[in-house]
Amino acid sequence: MSDRTVLADPASRRSAARERLLDTAAELFYAEGIQAVGVDRLIAEAGITKATFYRHFPGKDELVLAYLRRRDQHVRARLADAAAAAGDPRTVLAVLVEALAEEVCGPGFRGCPFINAAAEYPDAGHPVRRLVADHRQWFRDALAELLGACGHPDPAVGADALLLLRDGAMVAGYLDGAGTRNRIARTAAALIGPLP
């Protein structure tokens, strides 16, 4: 086996069938819940065979992990893009708050996929819950870094408050809809001061 094979990025070995399965899983898991969607349905709706499913994922939990990793990568990329486009940390925070308001008031919104997954996996030691915890820690750290760059007197406490705001906004957006938008902006401003 060559070094190139050993070091190849797993993403470069992804097949169209695997991506179709992940797309199908993302749509169904988010809309209906992870436990409500069985492997046979995923296989049928993705238009693949059982052999193809099991070639890519030893079981459903591994598919759930891949779905959440993909979502995590998307969130990280959005934050990196916002930081690159905005430049200063206060503007990045303002973009994050506005993006949150847009997301939770958007059509088909059904809450945070990470919180939803955690609710379906009650064992805190399960790999799904560990992935959710890692994602949340990364996001908390990113918020603390932004707040620190803004001169916040206690970036860790501010990050905790913003994460709680985000969690609450996710639930409120799902339950209350469009009325959540203004409450998000007002609460964020109360926590960290006026945003641009």
Residue ranges in the chain assigned as alpha helix (H): 3-7, 16-32, 39-46, 50-56, 60-86, 89-104, 113-120, 127-149, 155-176, 180-192
Phi and psi dihedrals of 88, rounded to 5?
Answer: -90, 150
What integer pLDDT is reported at residue 9 of this predicted model? 37
What integer pLDDT is reported at residue 153 of this predicted model? 92
Q: Quick one: pLDDT band at residue 196, thresholds 50, 70, 90?
A: low
Q: How many CB atoms lie within 10 A of CB 79?
A: 19
What integer pLDDT is reported at residue 101 of this predicted model? 87
Radius of gyration of the chain (CA): 19
What digits encode the pLDDT tens for the residues 171-191? Answer: 888 888 777 877 887 788 777
What digits encode the pLDDT tens for the residues 101-111? Answer: 888 888 888 99
Angle at 153 between CA 151 and CA 156, to 5 degrees: 100
What integer pLDDT is reported at residue 189 of this predicted model? 77
Q: pTM of the entire structure? A: 0.86
Asked if residue 12 has pLDDT above 60, the reply is no
Q: Quick one: pLDDT band at residue 10, thresholds 50, 70, 90?
A: very low
First-to-last CA distance in the chain?
54
Residue type, 177: G
Dist CA 168 CA 28 (whole Å): 23
CA distance readout (Å), 162 to 2, 29, 136: 47, 26, 12
Asked if residue 123 has pLDDT above 80, the reply is yes
